[in-house]
Structures are given as structure tokens and as C-alpha cells.
Chain A
Amino acid sequence: MNRPAVVLAHGVAKRWGSTQALAGVDLRLDGGVTTLLGPNGAGKTTMLRCLATATVPDAGQILVDGLDVGERSDRTEIRRRLGYLPQEPRFSPKATVYEVVDYLAILKEHHDRSRRHREVVRVLRLVGLDDRLDARTAALSTGMRRRLGVAQALIGSPSLLLLDEPATALDPEERLSLREQISGLGASSTVVVSTHLTDEAAAISATVVVLVDGAVCFVGPPVALAAAAAGRVWVAPTAPVGVVRSWRLPDGSYRVVGEPPTGVPLVEPTLEDGYLWLLGTTRPAGTRR
């Protein structure tokens, strides 16, 4: 069994053209499942790409088990320990499910054919694609293609597993089984999952990292994120003004996140409330970019 990878990121910055995708991110990961939570464009994908050695930060340093992502000589060794699901996994349309994983397994140095076949079948079983081995990727549903992407990331049981929005396009049943998979992997790997869905983060992770505009604005367990909105969530009979967020509930009342007026009946905050409070205070609606 693997030991989970230890990841240290310090002052990681990355610019794409005129957009500052990451503005000095510090992170320390050591086993377990961590979610990167944040709105679209917050820098989640860029951060995962940096960790995955798919791109090199403009500034700052990322160490995986003490190996430097920016050093050519270290990179291959990091890649040996790495599994990566890109945000949009794409495959040769004519290749079969089996071929895709087999090919990537070769690139991951699984040279012996019998062993490789065993590994390919193992990872495809994990994502429930073992009955579609000879299907062409063009014939797969979007959810299946994403599961195929997850399967290739699992080849060789990597000690650092990076999954960019793995739950996107999955149906509820697929999503549940993926959650179960990911939680199980947290014991032997350091797993980083990006998502913009708060319920996803709450369901799978021990640690939540909230990224907003390329900067970390929260690190902690899901309950702590929920607690950030403690005393700031209430239910009002009419639409309030001047609050962080509010939305209409099915019974016609409003759930409100913000600084409460005195005397309103407060309710228990959820992780989503905490996240919204955090977003609202770090980034008042559409002002910063």
C-alpha cells in the first residue's frame, strides 16, 4: 500500500494572458481528501494543473514529497506518483475504453502485458466500466467518459490523486458511487478534488480549501466552514435588503445570510451558508476580479 504524498505549496502564482489565475497560494496537504471549492474562474483548475505538473507556476514553489514540480529532474519522479483527471478529459474517439487505459498505463510504465491487463481491468472495475471494455469512447455518455478519465487517474494507485470536477455530468447514482470511491482512496493517497458544489465538498472531504480570485480564503474542515456563518443565517418572511445572500424557500419565506438584525430567529448554518458568507465578504458581488 502507498503512503499518501505530502504536498507543500508556497506562494504559487500563475497568470494566463491578462488574467491572474493564482495570486500566491499556500497549501499543505498530507493524506486524506481535500476539496478545492470556489466559483468558476477562481483558479481551481490552474492550481490542479500546477500540482499535476501540467503547467509550471510563474512564481512560488510546489513540493511533492520534497520533489520540486519546477525541476525537470524531479518532475518524472513526481509523475510516477501522480494520477490526474483533467477538467475536460478527451480521448481518441475511435479508441476503445480498454485501449485508452491500456495506452496510458504503458505511459505510466506498466510495461509487462499481463500485469498491465490486470491493472487496466482493476481500475475499470472500480469505476464500473468493466462491462464496456470494447466500447469506443465516442459511443460513451458524458458521465461514462468522465468515469473513464477517473479510471486512468487511478492506474497504479497513485499517492497523489488530482481530480478536476470529477462529479460533473455524472448522474446521481454515479455520483454516489464516485463519492464512495474517493472517500476510500483518502486512506492511502492524498486526494485533491475540485468542485464548485458545496454539497459535494461536504460529502467527501476532510478538508475544504476555498479559493476566490486565485487566493485561498479558507482552509479547514467542512464544519468549520459552516461555522463561519454561525449567527448570520435566519429565515425572514419577506425579501430582505442589504444582506450577503438571500433566496426564496418553497414555503414563501426567505433564507438569509448576512449580518442579522436584532431579534430575528437564527438558524443552524450549513456548509453552503458558510461558503456564501465567505464569498460575500471576500468578494462583494461582482466588484473584484
Chain B
Amino acid sequence: MSVDLDLIHRYRRSTLTRDELVKVELELQRSPAWRSALNDTVDAHRLGATWAAVEGSLDAPTPSRLERAATRLGAPQHLTRIMGATPNLRRAWMVSAVVLLLFGLAVSNGERETATIALFLSIAPLVPVFGVGLVYGPGADPAHEMATVTPMGGLRLVVLRTLMALLTSLVVVGIAAVLVEERSILIAAWLLPAVALSAATLAVSSFVPIRNAAAGVAAGWLTLVVIWARIADDGVAAFRLPGQLVAAVALAVSVAVIAARRDAFSRAVSTT
């Protein structure tokens, strides 16, 4: 049946009777000619805007494997995108972390087992510290000034990106941990120090540039581990229960400092 253009136009204007509406709907369900006639009634400008959006979506960044995994686990897509958005130097950081850990293990190979574990435990918590300092931290993002003055900017964004550094570290260090032969519970003892040191890095970064903060925290940490080991005559002294308690206290203090200094994270330009 030929197309009734009057019906088509009144379909657009919503002035059909019930019978007419039903007729048009059924024609649209099967007739290319009716569809084509209706197709011509829609504003080309409007369709152009939609087409641009379609094309844009095709060029949209493809989520990384990590991002897709997180989304599948139920994380909101926009958050996984923030975390997955190409940070500078991420690959360099991950590769150097693995190399550093493997190098440490290679050096200690053949020595006493405690030495192997001590070395691993001392280096492992520094992986997220450098992740925060160089890859994810405020200031490591070239678009930092623009990102900070968004509603999500400031402390929220900083915490999100720090979590990303921690999560990535977990994967990287996890891979290295498999290669450590010793299977004692101690092998997981780097976790709390890692979180504490990352928080400490953030806390310190509210006073000094984040790279300096990361370097300072790392130096302080290694000094502490060595001195504690000497005093207690135990290579992994800093990772036993008292050490974990110290880490927990350090974490609490750091979080308190971050909360008190949260305005500092909201500034895109440092005052000094």
C-alpha cells in the first residue's frame, strides 16, 4: 500500500485518531516505504548531533583489562574510568617496581631466608609510595589544575587515585611475592606498612611537593627498618606485631593530618 503522507505528518504532530495511530504503527512495523517517509520528517540538525555522539562513542577509549574487571565486579563505570585514565609513567613505574623487587631477591639469593624476606618486605611497601608520588599523586597529573577545580577535585580525587596506586601495587607486589620461596605469614606483612606509608606520603604532600614527600617517606622508612633490625637483632623486626601496631598508628596519624589539611588538596596551585 502506498504511503499516506498526511498520516505520517499527523503522526509526528500527535494528532491521529486511535485507528490511524494503530495503522501507522503497524505499517512502521513492516513497511520500508513508511519508515522512509517518516525518516524524512526528522530535523537533520538534531540527527547530526546524535550522529556526532555515535561517532564519538566509537572513538571513546576502550577500557583497559583492569578497568573491565573492576566494572564486572560492580564498580561504577565512571569510577573505573577515572582510575583507568592513562596516567603518566604508569607502565614505567610498574616495570621498575617489578625489576626492583626481583633485583632485591636476586641479590639476597643464597643468603639466609630471613634476609630474603626482610629485603622483600622493606622494598614492597615503597611500590605504592612511588606510585602515589610519581604516577597517581596530585601534581603527577599534567591536567592537575583543571582536574582540581572540578566538583570531584580535591581530596576525593586524591584518595581515589591513591587507592588506584595501592591496588596496582597489590598486583605488582603479589606477582613478586609468588617468587619468594618462604611461605610464612610474614610474606603478607608489607600490606599495612604499604597503606600507612602511602597515607603518610599524602599527608606530607600537603606541606611539600609530592615527589619530595615520597622521597622523604621512603628514606624515613628504610632508616626505621634498618635501625629496628639492628636493635632487635632480627631482620624482620619491623614487621612483627609491634611493627604492625606502629604502622597502624602511623596510618591513623596520617589520616588525621590529611583530614585536617584537606584544603591543601583542594588547591590547584601551591602557595609557595
Contacts and interface: CB of A to CB of B under 8 A. Distances in A.
Interface stretch (B27-35, B106-114, B143-151, B239-247): B143-151
Nearest to B51: A121
A60 to B, nearest CB: 16
A118 interface: yes
B53 A117 contact: yes
Contacts of B86: 92, 94-95, 99
Contacts of B81: 102-103, 106
Interface string A2-22: 000000000000001100000
Contact of A125 (B52, B87, B141): B52
A134 B153 contact: no
Interface in A105-163: 106-111, 113-114, 116-118, 120-122, 124-125, 130, 133-134, 149, 152-153
A132 B85 CA distance: 18
Given A17-B272, A49-B268, A98-B56, A54 B85 contact: no
Interface stretch (A32-40, A76-84, A168-176, A230-238): A76-84
Given A49-B268, A54-B145, A109-B152, A94 B53 contact: no
A89 interface: yes
Given A55-B268, A100-B143, A117 B57 contact: yes
Query: Which size class do B's interface residues fall under?
Result: 35 or more
Contacts of B145: 54, 84, 86, 89-90
B238 to A, nearest CB: 37
Contact of B61 (A53, A98, A107): A98
B96 interface: no
Given A55-B268, A56-B267, A90 B149 contact: no
Given A106-B152, A113-B77, A120-B56, A55 B143 contact: no
A183 to B, nearest CB: 21
A152 B145 CA distance: 12
B149 A91 contact: no
B61 A92 contact: no
Contact of B151 (A80, A96, A116, A122): A80
Interface string B245-272: 0000000000000000011001111011
A72 interface: yes
A116 B143 CA distance: 19
B132 interface: no
A70 B145 CA distance: 17
Residue of A106, A120, A121, A133 with most partner-chain B CB within 10 A: A121
A256 B148 CA distance: 46
A72 B262 contact: yes
Contacts, number: 138
Contact of A107 (B87, B153, B268): B153
B76 interface: yes
B262 A55 contact: no
A91 B143 contact: yes
B60 interface: yes
A33 B148 CA distance: 24
Contacts of A108: 150-152
A55 B154 CA distance: 12
B88 A92 contact: yes
A282 to B, nearest CB: 27
A56 B148 CA distance: 13
Given A49-B269, A72-B266, A98-B61, A79 B150 contact: yes
Contact of B263 (A72, A116, A133): A72
B269 A117 contact: no
B263 A54 contact: no
Contacts of B6: none
Contacts of B52: 121-122, 125, 130
A84 B55 contact: no
B146 A89 contact: yes
A273 to B, nearest CB: 35
B142 interface: yes
Contacts of B147: 103-104, 107
Given A98-B59, A107-B151, A111-B78, 15 more contacts: A52-B149, A55-B271, A79-B149, A86-B145, A92-B85, A99-B61, A99-B85, A99-B86, A102-B60, A103-B147, A104-B147, A107-B153, A114-B53, A117-B53, A149-B146
- Closest A-B pairs by Cβ, 8 of them: A121-B56, A54-B268, A107-B150, A90-B142, A133-B59, A118-B53, A107-B152, A103-B85
23 contacts: A54-B145, A54-B149, A55-B271, A72-B263, A79-B151, A84-B145, A86-B145, A89-B146, A91-B142, A91-B143, A92-B143, A100-B143, A102-B61, A103-B85, A104-B150, A106-B81, A106-B82, A114-B57, A118-B56, A120-B56, A121-B56, A149-B146, A152-B146
